[in-house]
Amino acid sequence: MSDPKPDRILAEESDNPWVKLILWAHEDPIRSAYRWNGFMKYLVEERLLFLESLNVTEERRLGLMKDWGIDSAELRRASPLSVDELEHAKNLFPIDTNFSQLLPNITIDNLIFRKELSFAGAIFAHTVSFKNCCFERLVNFYGASFNFGATFSNSLFSKEVIFGDAQFRVAALFDRVTFCREVIFYSQQTDNNFAAIFREAIFKAMTPGFHGRNFHPACDFHGITWPKIPKRNGDKKTEDTIEDALLNQITSYEYIRTQAEHIGQLELRKEMIRRELAC
């Protein structure tokens, strides 16, 4: 028997400084990723200053830079915050925070986000956790960079969620996540190493779109609840809508089937064939 999930609280009521940073970043809806990335850039620069103070070999220094996620080309290109913006962001954290040691854990768990969130182009410089969160509006991670692990286990996406062109450098965890609406994982450039765990996930409305993602053998689709197949014999007013939905579903089934064949997941392949034939 699994342990009960912790209660969720509203993001606005949280004392978590990372949550406060997200809410502050979204006060500027046009530049929310700019504020987030600017603070990530500052943390990386602080980490580099700490690294320079260590008496280590060049080889060891380069290894630590990689381990700590501070060799990111995306962060080097990110714009810095203004002096006032940086001071405001730092004040969201406890007064005794050592910012050179802050990066390893970005924990944003057990929360309810009632407003639309845009992390489009956001850089997560280290492991980030959104476990057991409820997202009540659209969430946009288009083009985001997850430089280490990303965990969404047990979360609920009530509206659309976009991971198009997002970069996952480590297997992302979507186990037991409920997706109530459309889920987009498309990649315009071929991603040859897409790894994610969807064990016991629930897709209520749409089969996710993965076009452009080549599945890594570590992908896990066991125990998934797939959406109902749209019926052709619906209302006349909705015939066109149903045909469009069927076409979208079939396209997703075909792509997942070919990827399942490629990585040798025969049960997943069989399920996609069954669904194609049922359309």
pLDDT in tens, 151-200: 999 999 999 999 999 999 889 999 999 999 999 999 998 877 899 999 99
Over pLDDT 90: what percentage of the chain? 63
> Do strands 178-179 and 202-203 pair parallel, antiparallel, or not at all (unpaired)?
parallel
Q: Give this prediction's pTM.
A: 0.89
Mean pLDDT of 251-255: 94
> Looking at the chain, which runs of residues are DSSP E strands?
9-10, 106-107, 111-113, 117-118, 123-124, 128-129, 134-135, 139-140, 145-146, 150-151, 156-157, 161-162, 167-168, 172-173, 178-179, 183-184, 191-194, 196-197, 202-203, 213-215
* Contact yes or no for 180/203 (Cβ under 8 A): no
* Contact yes or no for 18/43 (Cβ under 8 A): no
Q: In the prediction, which pLDDT does 214 show?
A: 94
> Which range, of 34-43, 216-225, 241-250, 261-270, averages the lowest pLDDT?
241-250
CA neighbor of 169 nearest in space, from 188, 191, 154: 191
> Which range, of 36-40, 81-85, 101-105, 265-269, averages the lowest pLDDT?
101-105
- Record the tokens describing residue 84, joined without a space: 């006032």
